[in-house]
């Protein structure tokens, strides 16, 4: 490893990938970040493409705590949507914007290893839980000035590929790369409570907010991944939208000893 400049792991959701305006602004943001000497590593979702393929082909699926139950048939569509459509789209936008990007997934070089996930006794099928990120595999790309763009499809110890929530992959990447920052880019300015974004969210309050249904749906895996990253030593973990990321604003997830929640 020779990388010395700070690394930001940036996770973008699949819902934004269809938005041409968002993608152009995202490319501009990545260019600006690189101009400040920061090395971005991008992890993307692909929820809209996955849903679209399932609907078009009539394949049903369920959601449990924000995680998509993935059957064998569904896994084929997940790989098409994430590795094929979504990953190529992000790389294409970056390359067309003058940024040298390379598309990867968690199976490549056994970059992300997972074990089968079970949530509250519910078998989610081919859904994996991140257990190992081989960060050393990424450093040659980063040191060469490339921007890795990573699909969350990952490799199980049983040799099969698994669907993994992109928030969890981003968390694992940030910890393994000793990233200076883990950034979750969403379509809202932060974690919303009573209609207002929280500026600071202590990690010990997250489960209470989930239990009280203040944090719901797809925000649940984001805040839990942020908490895990903070507890593993990632110093700067933020949930925000693209505009506020550029300004360094959003919801900072912090160890509970250091702060108390407030709303902007």
Residue ending a domain, choose from 134, 162, 190: 162
pLDDT at 34: 95
Regarding whether 133 and 28 lie in a shared domain, the answer is yes
Q: Report pLDDT digits (tens) over 107-130.
A: 999 999 999 988 888 888 999 999
DSSP per residue, 79-133: HIIIIIIIHHHHHHHHHHTT--EEEEEETGGG-EEEEEEEETTEEEEEEEEEEEE
Residue ending a domain, choose from 100, 133, 162: 162
Please state the domain count of the chain.
2
Tokens 């990253």: give the residue. 229
Q: Is residue 234 part of a domain?
A: yes
Closest CA to 35 of 1, 5, 2, 4: 5
pLDDT at 261: 43
% of residues, the chain, pLDDT over 70: 95
Element (H, E) at 43: strand 39-44
Least confident window among 23-27, 90-94, 184-188: 184-188
Regarding whether 185 and 261 lie in a shared domain, the answer is yes
pLDDT beyond 60 at 182: yes
Of 11 and 193, the structure prediction assigns the larger pLDDT to 11
What is the mean pLDDT of the segment spanning 21-42?
95
pLDDT at 139: 95
Domain span including residue 212:
180-264
pTM: 0.90
- Residues with Cβ within 8 Å of 247's Cβ and at least 6 positions away in sequence, in order, are none
Regarding whether 119 and 1 lie in a shared domain, the answer is yes
Q: Are 45 and 218 in contact (CB under 8 A)?
A: no
CA 86 to chain centre: 13
% of residues, the chain, pLDDT over 90: 66
pLDDT at 264: 43
Element (H, E) at 37: none
What is the mean pLDDT of the segment spanning 160-180?
95
pLDDT at 86: 95
pLDDT at 4: 74
CA distance 202 to 261: 6
List beta partners, residue 133. Answer: 112
What is the mean pLDDT of the segment spanning 80-90?
95
Q: Is residue 170 part of a domain?
A: no
Closest CA to 47 of 161, 245, 218: 218
- Give the three-state DSSP class for 214: coil
pLDDT beyond 90 at 144: yes
Give the number of other CB atoms < 10 A from CB of residue 84: 15
Regarding whether 106 and 65 lie in a shared domain, the answer is yes
CA 137 to chain centre: 19
pLDDT at 259: 42
pLDDT at 47: 79
- Residues with Cβ within 8 Å of 261's Cβ and at least 6 positions away in sequence, in order, are 193, 198, 199, 200, 201, 202, 205
pLDDT beyond 50 at 258: no
Regarding whether 22 and 143 lie in a shared domain, the answer is yes
Regarding whether 23 and 141 lie in a shared domain, the answer is yes
pLDDT at 257: 65
Regarding whether 138 and 36 lie in a shared domain, the answer is yes
Regarding whether 132 and 210 lie in a shared domain, the answer is no
pLDDT beyond 50 at 190: yes
What is the mean pLDDT of the segment spanning 160-173?
94
Q: Report pLDDT digits (tens) over 226-255.
A: 999 999 999 889 999 999 998 889 999 998
pLDDT beyond 60 at 29: yes
Q: Is residue 168 part of a domain?
A: no
Q: Is residue 130 part of a domain?
A: yes
Q: Is residue 174 part of a domain?
A: no
Q: Is residue 75 part of a domain?
A: yes
DSSP per residue, 141-206: HHHTT-EEEEEEEEEETTS-EEB--HHHHHHHHHHHTT-SEEEEEESSSS-EETTEEEEEEEGGGH
224-to-140, 168, 253 alpha-carbon distances in Å: 30, 9, 10
Q: Is residue 88 part of a domain?
A: yes
Regarding whether 146 and 202 lie in a shared domain, the answer is no
């Amino acid at each position: 490893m020779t990388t010395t400049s700070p690394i930001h792991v940036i996770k973008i959701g699949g819902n934004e990938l269809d938005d041409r305006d968002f993608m152009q602004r995202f490319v501009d943001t990545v260019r600006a970040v690189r101009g400040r000497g920061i090395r971005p590593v991008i992890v993307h979702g692909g929820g809209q493409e996955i849903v679209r393929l399932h609907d078009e082909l009539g394949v049903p699926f369920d959601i449990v705590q924000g995680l998509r139950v993935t059957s064998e048939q569904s896994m084929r569509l997940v790989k098409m949507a994430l590795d094929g459509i979504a990953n190529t789209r992000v790389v294409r936008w970056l390359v067309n914007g003058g940024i040298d990007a390379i598309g990867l997934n968690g199976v490549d070089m056994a970059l992300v290893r997972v074990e089968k996930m079970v949530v509250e006794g519910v078998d989610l099928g081919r859904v994996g839980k991140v257990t190992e990120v081989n960060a050393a595999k990424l450093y040659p790309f980063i040191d060469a000035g490339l921007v890795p763009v990573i699909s969350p499809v990952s490799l199980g110890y049983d040799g099969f590929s698994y669907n993994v929530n992109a928030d969890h992959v981003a968390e694992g990447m940030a910890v393994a790369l000793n990233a200076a920052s883990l950034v979750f880019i969403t379509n809202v300015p932060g974690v919303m409570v009573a209609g207002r974004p929280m500026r600071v969210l202590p990690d010990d309050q997250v489960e209470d907010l989930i239990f009280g249904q203040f944090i719901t749906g797809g925000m649940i895996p984001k805040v839990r991944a942020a908490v895990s990253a903070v507890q593993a030593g990632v110093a700067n973990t933020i949930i925000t939208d693209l505009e506020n990321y550029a300004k360094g604003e959003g919801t900072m997830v912090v160890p509970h000893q250091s702060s108390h929640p407030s709303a902007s």
